[in-house]
Amino acid sequence: MKKISKKMQIEVLKSKLHCVKVTEANLNYMGSITIDEDLMDAVGIIAGERVYIVNNNNGERFDTYVIRGERGSGCICLNGAAARKVQVGDIVIIMSYALMDFEEAKTFTPKVVFPDQNTNKIL
């Protein structure tokens, strides 16, 4: 069996907003997800970053990029084609991943936040 190279890069979970409520779905927008800036800061997600979304209500899984939403609004808005994969009130999980060295990945701890499901506010 070949030894794993220490220079190998692997993709690991970096950030996770666990079980937030979709507040809007805007089909007539060019694409993306708008996220309350407080939530973005809490897990270290930045505008333009690629995120993966899992819809707990219907099982849809998809990816898009982040747009900064109004701070303190609790906004989770799927835009463009992604709006077809959710309905307002659905519960979603939003995750981002990062590439890092194999050794660094062993000790890395992702930022995970469990906001209030009714308000999307950080508890």
Domain borders along the chain are 14-111
Instruction: Please indicate whether residue 65 is annotated as part of the active site.
Output: yes
Residues 6+ apart with CB under 8 A from 63: 50, 51, 52, 53
Task: Say whether pLDDT at 100 is over 90.
Answer: yes
Cα distances (angstroms) measured from residue 95 to each of 6, 44, 71 = 26, 11, 19
Please name the CATH architecture into which domain 14-111 falls: Beta Barrel (2.40)
Q: Which of 16, 51, 19 is nearest to 119 (CA)?
A: 19
Phi first, then psi, for residue 38 (nearest 5°) are -60, -40
Active-site residue, from 15, 29, 52, 65: 65
Instruction: Please indicate whether residue 97 is annotated as part of the active site.
Output: no
pLDDT digits (tens, 9 = 90+) for 47-74: 999 999 999 999 999 999 999 999 999 9
Active-site residue, from 32, 52, 73, 96: 32
Task: Say whether pLDDT at 46 is over 80.
Answer: yes
